[in-house]
Amino acid sequence: MNKSPLLLALVLALSGCQTLTTQDSDSQVANQANEQLEGASPDDINNALKINAQYQQVADDNDDEAAPIFDDVWERIRYQLSIKVPQNRPVVTQRNYYAKHQAYLDRISKRAEPYLHFIVEEVEKREMPIEIALLPIVESAFDPFGYSNRSASGIWQFMPQTGERFDLKQNWWYDGRRDIVQSTRAALDYLSYLHKTLDGDWLNAIAAYNSGEGRLLRAIKKNRKKHLPTDFWSLDLPSETTAYVPKLLALADLLKRSDDFNVTWQPVINAQVVEVVDVGSQIDLALAADMADITLTELYRLNPGFNRWATDPNGPHFLLLPVDKAEQFSQKLALTDAKDRLRWQRYTVVRGDSLSVIAKKFTTSSSAIRSLNKLSSNTIRVGQKLLVPLTDGAINSEHLPKQMRLAANKSTRTKLSHTVKSGDTLWDISREYDVTMDDLAKWNKLRKNSVLRLNQKLTVYKSANKTQTAKNRTDRTITYKVRRGDSLARIASKFNLTINDIIKWNNLAGEKYLQPGQKLKLKVDVRSS
């Protein structure tokens, strides 16, 4: 028997007549295939299954090749913009404002660079409008230490009560409203809830994120009584909220049609640049930075939720680290006992002591002492030996001998002067000089939420061993996922690298081919790539 017609018929039957073109109708082919199946052997059927799988793979490959590939996160967002933007006065007014402030858009890209890829991934996972990823621009201009005059905090600007409602822990040690990972999770939870509560209207949900669902529901109820429309543009809302949604739509329009308005969105590499690492217990952040081989300033920038010198003894026990530092950090962490993850000293309880008195004396908290000593209560007794966490702040505490404080603080520093430019914040300046916001505020007798004046002079101290400022360090290690059609030469050309470097960084010696989905570590210059 000639097997070719049989195999053809079997393949057509198995594939639902979708992969091959024939002059016969689908029903005729299916009838012929069914007749052939009666006399087909198991080998014939297996061969037909293999051929059908090959056809399906070709179809899948074609689908993959049709999917767009983005090297810039802004381009990735632009491709998915879906909310219709009306060209009305509120939107046009906001868009014209942003279009005239290119320097502001440049600062947005610089601030968003460590976080934007993560946020876009989270929004896509939930199948929410990609415009949501632009909301931190409206809320905080991507400043994780941003505070409002109503006590909202973080890039998503959570009020304390709303933060508690969505399980954002807030205490002496830690403020989850500033935690990039946790606040993003909470913000998307809140927006999803609002979308459902407000009958699937995204503009109303976004407006409610600003003013609260109660206000939106009252405005909708008021319009319904008057038999008026209940879309965002028809509601009577506070002036701040009526400008809030147009700001987001204006940014989306400006991103979609950037050429029309002669603006530039500075590229942000479309690759994973940070990774969440489970620490498992409280850890001194200076020690964590040393284990990860990054500066303490950089660690705080990636983990702005921490208020103190260490993580909360009761958690969360997660750190956000650069992807190229996560593995070596985890290896060093595994070799470090929990009690050695904090700097500590021995202390003997004296008359009049309580945990709170001792905590104040050593610039720590009662819970930290209780956790380190595995105490079940706050009860202590005279003569009891305790381990007390020793903080960076303790070197300035009065209980230490004067000579010890002077020795601890002795360092060679260079005094610099910074002139405030339009749009500068303490956060931006601290990044530029690789110092902490706390130090910058203390040196200039300012609060961390102080508004700076144009041309104001600020004092900055740089340690002698910090010869390179953050603005000069543009190298980043990213995780790049290999796409269909990629080769070492193509990837090297795309990121201005050498093939030998990629091979060395990823131990590829002897491997002939890259596989789609394979992950590569690349050290790239984020300004030139």
Q: What is the pLDDT of residue 38?
A: 56
Looking at residue 165, its amino acid is R
Class in CATH terms, 343-406: alpha beta
Is 411-471 a domain of CATH 3.40.50.1000?
Answer: no
pLDDT digits (tens, 9 = 90+) for 271-321: 999 999 999 998 988 899 999 999 888 898 899 999 888 898 888 999 999
**Percent of the chain whose predicted confidence (pLDDT) is above 90:** 44
Give the 3-state secondary structure of residue 322. strand
Q: Is 197 exposed, middle or buried (0-12, 13-18, 19+ CB in 10 A)?
A: middle
Instruction: Summarize the confidence of residues 37-54 as an average pLDDT.
Output: 58
Contact residues for 335 (Cβ-Cβ < 8 A; gap 6+): none
Q: Name, in order, each residue with C-beta under 8 angstroms of 378's C-beta and a sequence gap of 6 or more.
A: 354, 355, 356, 366, 370
444-452 CB contacts, 8 Å cutoff, 24+ apart: 448/145, 448/147, 449/147, 450/426, 452/420, 452/424, 452/425, 452/426
- φ, ψ for residue 413, nearest 5 deg: -130, 150
**46, pLDDT greater than 90:** no
How many CA atoms lie less than 13 Å away from 454 in the CB half-sphere?
2
SS3 430: helix
The mean pLDDT value for 192-199 works out to 96
Q: What backbone phi and psi angles, to 5 degrees, belong to 354?
A: -140, 170
Instruction: List, by residue number, the catalytic residues.
Output: 139
| Residue 492 to residue 498: CA distance in whole angstroms | 5
- Quote the tokens at residue 447: 């609060």
Which are the contacts of 83, defined by CB distance < 8 A and separation ≥ 6?
A: 129, 131, 202, 203, 249, 252
Residue 515 pLDDT > 50: yes
DSSP symbols for 328-378: HHHHHHHTS-GGGGS-EEEEE--TT--HHHHHHHTTS-HHHHHHHTT-SSS
* Rounded CA separation 256/249 (Å): 10
How do residues 215-235 score in pLDDT, each as one tens digit? 999 999 999 999 999 999 999
DSSP 154-185: TTTTB-HHHHHHTT--BSSSBBTTT-HHHHHH
Q: How many CA atoms lie within 13 A of 99 on its CB side?
A: 18
pLDDT over threshold 70, residue 31: no
Question: In CATH, what is the architecture of 73-256?
Answer: Orthogonal Bundle (1.10)
- Per-residue pLDDT tens over the stretch 81-121: 999 999 999 999 999 999 999 999 999 999 999 999 999 99
- CATH 3.10.350.10, domain 474-525, yes or no: yes
**Each residue's pLDDT tens digit, 394-418:** 333 333 334 333 433 443 456 788 8
Give the pLDDT band (50/70/90) at residue 26: very low
d(CA 301, CA 437): 10
**53-69 burial by CB neighbour count: b if 16+ within 10 A, else e?**
eebeeeeeeeeeeeeee
